Structure 1
Amino acid sequence: MKWATGTATTRGEPRHEGALLRALELLETSRSVWLAEPESFAERRREEKVMHRRTPRREETRYLYGRRWPGPQAKEAILGEVARLWAMYSRAPFPDVPSADKGELAELDMWLAGCVSTYLADKGELDTWRRDILVERLPELRGHVARLGHPLTYPAGFDNFRCLLRMTELIVHDTDS
């Protein structure tokens, strides 16, 4: 995560040394949690393999893909980052994209932006139906972002849908929702 995300939990406080030190402590704590997760995962996988469980459960691997905020105050940090990204995303018009993909991207935008908007309106809560929409449409969004980014002939489309991808991944990997 970015430094801005860590300091999002100290909003309203002046940018003085104490606020910055609290933000740094939050980042250090989150980093410690993030570094401990692979070790914990490896230990659980060893135990499961002894019991002949060769495939990890989905909830065990969801943190390996995409953006998230480990550690304390994760909900507040994710909510702050999604709100920051949403402010940029919602002001932008629908970007120029390949005409062959425009219909699919418009539909994808409608569904995912609606879920993001609901997540923010409900202060970080999302019902199962909308969470399932995000999870099901995330691979499709990743594919479109990859195509829009290479070759970079649609920079506004790439930036727009990459922002939507970031928000979607953060919400999907929000542990409290």
Structure 2
Amino acid sequence: MKHLKTLLLVAIFTIGLGGAVNAQKTAHINTDKLLAEMPETKALKAELEKLQKTYRADIEGMFKTLEAKFKKYDAEGKNQTKEVNAQRAQEIQQDRAKIAQAEQTMNQEMAKKYKEKTAPILQKAEDAIKAVASEKGIVYVLDSAPGKGLIVFDKGEDIYNAVKAKLGF
């Protein structure tokens, strides 16, 4: 009898919690789409492309200089001593290393700039999502972007347009 009462209490408690959970409002939003359409993201993309073009132009200039030097040294190589040719080969290797270092620096600077500039954009989007969820009484907001773990999102409320309006675009 004691086990029956315990079992009955557990069943009532479980059913009661299930009803409370079902009463909570959920929604979803495609954060990838939201972030891609934010003006700040578009401005960041343009800024990064401009920075990359600048770096790329510098690196291409270094490469053209190296190429010209290599052709010159190759043409003069037969008339030079082994020591001079060895020194020139070492110089070519150093120039190649400088180009590789410049490319690495470019990649690091681009990644640093991206990380630095995306943090406030992500925060702004998150704040807008939280504000819309609060206004609508939504307890859970799930990310419906592909690969974010949400598989079915037909029944929840899509707050994309409300967040977009909150952000002003």
| TM beyond 0.5 | no
- Report the TM-score when normalising by structure 1: 0.27
- Report the TM-score when normalising by structure 2: 0.28
Bigger RCO of structures 1 and 2 (CA < 8 A, at least 6 apart): 2
Choose between structure 1 and 2: higher helix proportion: 2
Choose between structure 1 and 2: higher strand proportion: 2
Larger radius of gyration: 2
